[in-house]
Amino acid sequence: MKAILQDAFGGPEVLRFGEAPAPPVGPGRVSIRVGATSVNRPDIVQRQGNYPPPPGESPILGLDAAGTIEEVGAGVTGFARGERVFALLGGGGYAELAVAHAGHVLKTPKSLSVEQAACIPETYLTAYMNVFGNARLADGETVLLHGGGGGVTTAAMQLCKVLAPRARVLVTASTGKVERVAALAAELGLDCAAIDYKREDFADAVLRHTDKRGADVILDHIGGAYLAQNLKALAVGGRLALIGVMGGRKAEIDLARVLVQRIAIVGSVLRPRPVDEKTALIRRFERDVLAHFAAGRIAPLIHRVYPLAQAAEAHRAMEAGEHFGKLVLEVAA
Ligand SMILES: NC(=O)c1ccc[n+]([C@@H]2O[C@H](COP(=O)([O-])OP(=O)(O)OC[C@H]3O[C@@H](n4cnc5c(N)ncnc54)[C@H](OP(=O)(O)O)[C@@H]3O)[C@@H](O)[C@H]2O)c1
């Protein structure tokens, strides 16, 4: 099969379009003929050598696959060859064939294209698990989302529309993206304010937008560089869901503030979680969210679609940070 391979860790130039053996379909798994996959920030970290796949998973990049069932492994029921599906992968999405645990596969609603379906698993599950699971956002509360325009953040905005429609949504974005965040929020009907983090201290802006109360929930992928401001921006009883450390893994923490404000900090990474935990998460997501995609109430925001052979270009675009929404790799036209 055709796949994106790498012989060394490093910049986008280490990615090459080549031939790899088709992955074996073990018991409890299915293989998917991949129509499209999408680029996630963790792919870049893996390419650089800092995010190895869990044991037993493909070393090929790619956490999402959308396409059709190619082969069903022993013990798997409920899937037929040719059926349209999309799946969360432990790896291997940047290829013509990918193998997924059967419990991590969802049937693609008719309303979604293969490119749209490819944007869902890693991105929406991360947003869902953290904002609504770990940080327990309740309808009517205030949530601060960092990284406006990013895949996870645009997904989280959409999930607020369908799961917490009365939430106040504050979104930080860089100067060129604040207007687009505001436009997306208006399109979704969110009660939203976009904060230009390059021009003002985001914690001050959050306090201004909440009458000094602060946000109940923060979704943060910056980590160290944002910790002090995040703590300042949280309301009493606030929850900080940490999903990345793009701004450093170490920081000093004011524990007195954590005590007095009754703050909870919850970190998580999706990929290394046990298979059964991911299955349970995906079933909850299927129950709570899939019908909203099927009804067209939300749909992934695609910035650009690249042919699989141009994966390096897509990585360069993500690292340049000019995208707004998801970058998709089309595997089979
Ligand atoms: N824990 C998990 O399970 C999990 C799963 C998936 C993703 N993630 C993490 O979630 C984050 C988002 O992933 P993604 O795939 O949505 O990536 P993405 O589309 O590239 O979004 C990242 C966003 O972060 C912003 N950003 C980049 N550097 C920044 C900085 N120094 N300060 C503030 N903002 C910055 C960028 O916007 P600007 O250019 O406008 O700043 C961009 O919109 C990544 O850190 C990723 O590793 C975690």
Q: Give yes or no for a contact between 66 and 118, defined as CB atoms under 8 angstroms apart.
A: yes
What does the pLDDT look like over 295-321, one tens digit per residue? 999 999 999 999 999 999 999 999 999
What does the pLDDT look like over 139-181, one tens digit per residue? 999 999 999 999 999 999 999 999 999 999 999 999 899 999 9
For ligand 1, atom 32, the nearest C-alpha belongs to 222
Contacts 24+ apart (CB under 8 A), 301-304: 301/119, 301/154, 301/158, 301/184, 301/325, 301/326, 302/115, 302/116, 302/119, 302/326, 302/328, 303/327, 304/328
What does the pLDDT look like over 185-209, one tens digit per residue? 999 999 999 999 999 999 999 999 9
Number of CB atoms found within 10 A of residue 188's CB: 18
CA angle 50/52/56 to nearest 5° reads 175
What does the pLDDT look like over 221-244, one tens digit per residue? 999 999 999 999 999 999 999 999
Is residue 126 in contact with ligand 1, taking CB distance under 6 Å? yes
Query: Mean pLDDT over residues 2-29, rounded?
Result: 97
Is residue 223 in contact with ligand 1, taking CB distance under 6 Å? no
Task: Tell me the β-bridge partners of 250.
Answer: none
For ligand 1, atom 48, the nearest C-alpha belongs to 243
For ligand 1, atom 28, the nearest C-alpha belongs to 246
For ligand 1, atom 40, the nearest C-alpha belongs to 174
CA distances from 123 to 16, 79, 202 (A): 25, 24, 24
Number of CB atoms found within 10 A of residue 306's CB: 17
What does the pLDDT look like over 104-146, one tens digit per residue? 999 999 999 999 999 999 999 999 999 999 999 999 999 999 9
Which amino acid, 135? A
**Ligand 1 closest atom vs CA 151:** 16
Q: Give yes or no for a contact between 124 and 289, defined as CB atoms under 8 angstroms apart.
A: yes
Number of CB atoms found within 10 A of residue 248's CB: 12
Nearest CA to 92 out of 204, 1, 209 is that of 1
CA 38 – ligand 1 centroid, Å: 14
How far is it, in rounded angstroms, from Cα 239 to Cα 242? 10
**Residue-level pLDDT at 332:** 79
Relative to beta strand 264-267, strand 191-196 is unpaired
CA 147 – ligand 1 centroid, Å: 6
CA 150 – ligand 1 centroid, Å: 6
- The tokens describing 205, both together, are 């802006």
**Residue-level pLDDT at 333:** 60
Which amino acid, 104? H
Task: Give, as one character, the DSSP assignment of residue 225.
Answer: G
**Ligand 1 closest atom vs CA 42:** 47
* Alpha helices (H) in the chain, listed in sequence order: 41-47, 114-118, 121-127, 151-163, 178-188, 202-209, 227-233, 255-261, 275-288, 290-294, 311-320
Query: Mean pLDDT over residues 83-101, rounded?
Result: 98
Is residue 40 in contact with ligand 1, taking CB distance under 6 Å? yes
Q: Give yes or no for a contact between 33 and 327, defined as CB atoms under 8 angstroms apart.
A: no
Is residue 318 in contact with ligand 1, taking CB distance under 6 Å? yes
Q: pTM score > 0.95 for this model? A: yes
**Residue-level pLDDT at 242:** 98
Tokens 């999309």 belong to 86
Is residue 41 in contact with ligand 1, taking CB distance under 6 Å? yes
Task: Tell me the β-bridge partners of 219.
Answer: 145, 241
**Residue-level pLDDT at 297:** 97
What does the pLDDT look like over 245-302, one tens digit per residue? 999 999 999 999 999 999 999 999 999 999 999 999 999 999 999 999 999 999 999 9
Is residue 173 in contact with ligand 1, taking CB distance under 6 Å? yes
Q: What is the CA radius of gyration of the chain?
A: 20
What does the pLDDT look like over 55-89, one tens digit per residue? 999 999 999 999 999 999 999 999 999 999 999 99
Task: Show Cβ contacts of residue 237 under 8 Å, excluding neighbours closer than 6 positions.
Answer: 216, 261, 262, 263
Is residue 177 in contact with ligand 1, taking CB distance under 6 Å? yes
- Mean pLDDT, the chain, integer: 97
CA 186 – ligand 1 centroid, Å: 22
How far is it, in rounded angstroms, from Cα 247 to Cα 251? 10
- Structural domains of the chain in order of their starting residue, each with its CATH number: 2-120+271-330 (3.90.180.10), 124-267 (3.40.50.720)
CA 325 – ligand 1 centroid, Å: 11
